[in-house]
Structure 1
Amino acid sequence: MQRRFYRILLSGWLLTTSITAMAQQKKHSDRPNIIFILADDLGYGNLTSFNPRSPIPTPNIDNLGTEGIRFTRFYSGNTVCAPSRCALLTGKNMGHSYIRGNTRLPLRPQDSTLAQVLQQNGYATGMFGKWGLGEMGTTGSPEIKGFDEFYGYLNQGHAHDYYTNYLYQVKAGKISKIKHDTTVYTHDEIMEHAYSFINENKDKPFFLYLSITVPHAELDPPKKDLQQWLNPDGSSKLGPETPYAQNGGTYRSQQNPHAAFAAMVTKLDQNVGQIQALIKQLGLDDNTYIFFTSDNGPHKEGGADPEYFNSNGPLKGLKRDLYEGGIRVPLLVRAPGHIPAGKVSDEEWAFWDILPTFSALTKSKTLHGIDGLNYASALEDKKPDKVHDYLYWQFNEGYIQEAVLQGDWKLIRFKYKGKGERFELYNIVDDIGETKDLAAENPAKVKSLKAIMAKAKTPAENKEFDWSDTEK
Structure 2
Amino acid sequence: MLGVVLIIGMSFAVSCKKKEKAATVLPNIVLILADDLGYGDLASYNHNSLVPTPNLDRLASQGIRLTNAYCPVSVCSPSRYALMTGTYPFRSWKKSGVLSNYEPSMMAEGQLTLPKMLQLSGYTTAGFGKWHLGASFPTLDGERPAGYGKFKAENNGANIDLKSPVSDGPVDHGFEHWFGFSCASECWVMNGKNIVAALQHDFYNIDSATQKDHIEVIPSDKYLSMITEKSVRFLTDHNATDPKKPFFLYFAPYVPHIPLSVSDEFKGATKAGLYGDYVYELDTYIGKLLSTLDSLQQSKNTIVLFASDNGSQFEMTGTHIDLASASNSPKDVIKKGTNANEHYPNGDLKGTKWTIWEGGVRTPFIAKWPGKFPSGAKSDQLFALNDVMATLGSIVGFKLPTDAAIDSYDQLSVLMGKEESIRESVVVQSSNGMAIRKGNWKYIMPSDENTDGELYNLADDVSESTNRFEKNPELAKTMKNELHEMISRTAIDQSKNY
| 1:341 partner letter | S
What secondary structure sits across from 1:403 in the alignment?
strand
The percent identity for this pair of structures is 32
Question: Are the equivalent residues in 2 in contact too, given 1:404–1:411 (CA < 8 A)?
Answer: yes
Partner of 2:308: 294
What secondary structure sits across from 1:387 in the alignment?
coil
1:89 is the counterpart of 2:84: yes
Alignment of 1:414-453 (within 5 A): 414-416=446-448, 420-453=450-483
What secondary structure sits across from 2:77 in the alignment?
helix
The alpha-carbon deviation at position 28 of structure 1 amounts to 8.2
The alpha-carbon deviation at position 387 of structure 1 amounts to 1.7
Which one of the candidate residues 223, 242, 263 is aligned to 2:264? 223
Partner of 2:252: 211
Partner of 2:190: 168
Question: Are the equivalent residues in 1 in contact too, given 2:115–2:125 (CA < 8 A)?
Answer: yes
1:350 is the counterpart of 2:345: no
- In 1, the alpha carbon distance for the partners of 2:334 and 2:256 equals 12
* Alpha-carbon displacement from aligned partner over 1:175-220 (angstroms, at most 9, x marks no partner): 3333233446111111111111111223120111111110010012
- In 2, the alpha carbon distance for the partners of 1:36 and 1:446 equals 36
- In 1, the alpha carbon distance for the partners of 2:393 and 2:426 equals 21
- In 2, the alpha carbon distance for the partners of 1:388 and 1:97 equals 22
Partner of 1:8: none
Is the alpha carbon distance of 1:404 and 1:283 closer, same or farther for their aligned partners in structure 2, counting shifts above 3 Å? same
1:151 is the counterpart of 2:151: no
What secondary structure sits across from 2:171 in the alignment?
coil
- In 1, the alpha carbon distance for the partners of 2:60 and 2:368 equals 7
| 2:417 partner letter | D
After TM superposition, the structure 1 stretch with the greater mean CA deviation from structure 2, 175-184 or 148-157, is 175-184
Alignment of 1:45-124 (within 5 A): 45-99=40-94, 100-103=96-99, 104-106=103-105, 107-124=107-124
Q: Which runs of 5+ in 1 are unaligned?
A: 1-25, 159-163, 230-237, 239-257, 462-472
Is the alpha carbon distance of 1:305 and 1:43 closer, same or farther for their aligned partners in structure 2, counting shifts above 3 Å? farther
* Alpha-carbon displacement from aligned partner over 1:67-96 (angstroms, at most 9, x marks no partner): 111111111031100000001111012443
Is the alpha carbon distance of 1:434 and 1:218 closer, same or farther for their aligned partners in structure 2, counting shifts above 3 Å? same
Question: Are the equivalent residues in 2 in contact too, given 1:93–1:393 (CA < 8 A)?
Answer: no
* Alpha-carbon displacement from aligned partner over 1:240-260 (angstroms, at most 9, x marks no partner): xxxxxxxxxxxxxxxxxx532
The alpha-carbon deviation at position 97 of structure 1 amounts to 3.8
Question: Are the equivalent residues in 2 in contact too, given 1:90–1:114 (CA < 8 A)?
Answer: yes
After TM superposition, the structure 1 stretch with the greater mean CA deviation from structure 2, 346-355 or 258-267, is 258-267
Partner of 1:248: none
Aligned residue pairs, count: 394
* Alpha-carbon displacement from aligned partner over 1:224-254 (angstroms, at most 9, x marks no partner): 221535xxxxxxxx4xxxxxxxxxxxxxxxx
The alpha-carbon deviation at position 403 of structure 1 amounts to 0.3
Partner of 2:444: 412
Question: Are the equivalent residues in 1 in contact too, given 2:64–2:366 (CA < 8 A)?
Answer: yes
Is the alpha carbon distance of 1:76 and 1:315 closer, same or farther for their aligned partners in structure 2, counting shifts above 3 Å? same
- In 1, the alpha carbon distance for the partners of 2:368 and 2:44 equals 14
After TM superposition, the structure 1 stretch with the greater mean CA deviation from structure 2, 118-127 or 148-157, is 148-157
Question: Are the equivalent residues in 2 in contact too, given 1:108–1:140 (CA < 8 A)?
Answer: no
Alignment of 1:301-450 (within 5 A): 302-303=325-326, 307=336, 308-369=342-403, 370-384=406-420, 387-396=422-431, 400-416=432-448, 420-450=450-480
Partner of 2:278: 264
1:187 is the counterpart of 2:207: no
- In 1, the alpha carbon distance for the partners of 2:451 and 2:483 equals 13
| 1:298 partner letter | S
What secondary structure sits across from 2:227 in the alignment?
helix
After TM superposition, the structure 1 stretch with the greater mean CA deviation from structure 2, 327-336 or 300-309, is 300-309
Question: Are the equivalent residues in 2 in contact too, given 1:29–1:287 (CA < 8 A)?
Answer: no
| 1:441 partner letter | K
Partner of 1:253: none
Is the alpha carbon distance of 1:31 and 1:424 closer, same or farther for their aligned partners in structure 2, counting shifts above 3 Å? same
After TM superposition, the structure 1 stretch with the greater mean CA deviation from structure 2, 445-454 or 95-104, is 95-104
What secondary structure sits across from 1:414 in the alignment?
coil
After TM superposition, the structure 1 stretch with the greater mean CA deviation from structure 2, 264-273 or 131-140, is 131-140
Question: Are the equivalent residues in 2 in contact too, given 1:299–1:306 (CA < 8 A)?
Answer: no
Question: Are the equivalent residues in 1 in contact too, given 2:26–2:396 (CA < 8 A)?
Answer: yes
Is the alpha carbon distance of 1:135 and 1:448 closer, same or farther for their aligned partners in structure 2, counting shifts above 3 Å? same
| 1:395 partner letter | S
The alpha-carbon deviation at position 420 of structure 1 amounts to 2.9
Could you state the TM-score of these two structures normalised by the residue count of structure 1? 0.79
Question: Are the equivalent residues in 1 in contact too, given 2:196–2:216 (CA < 8 A)?
Answer: no
- In 2, the alpha carbon distance for the partners of 1:305 and 1:118 equals 42
Indicate the RMSD between aligned Cα atoms, in angstroms.
2.2
- In 1, the alpha carbon distance for the partners of 2:25 and 2:84 equals 22
What secondary structure sits across from 2:462 in the alignment?
coil
- In 1, the alpha carbon distance for the partners of 2:136 and 2:237 equals 25
- In 1, the alpha carbon distance for the partners of 2:184 and 2:72 equals 16
Partner of 2:39: 44
Question: Are the equivalent residues in 1 in contact too, given 2:302–2:369 (CA < 8 A)?
Answer: yes
What secondary structure sits across from 1:45 in the alignment?
coil
* Alpha-carbon displacement from aligned partner over 1:249-301 (angstroms, at most 9, x marks no partner): xxxxxxxxx53212211111111211221111111111001111100011148
1:198 is the counterpart of 2:235: yes
The alpha-carbon deviation at position 305 of structure 1 amounts to 6.0
- In 2, the alpha carbon distance for the partners of 1:447 and 1:50 equals 33
| 2:190 partner letter | Y
The alpha-carbon deviation at position 383 of structure 1 amounts to 4.0
The alpha-carbon deviation at position 30 of structure 1 amounts to 2.8
Is the alpha carbon distance of 1:407 and 1:284 closer, same or farther for their aligned partners in structure 2, counting shifts above 3 Å? same
Question: Are the equivalent residues in 1 in contact too, given 2:130–2:180 (CA < 8 A)?
Answer: yes
1:141 is the counterpart of 2:169: yes
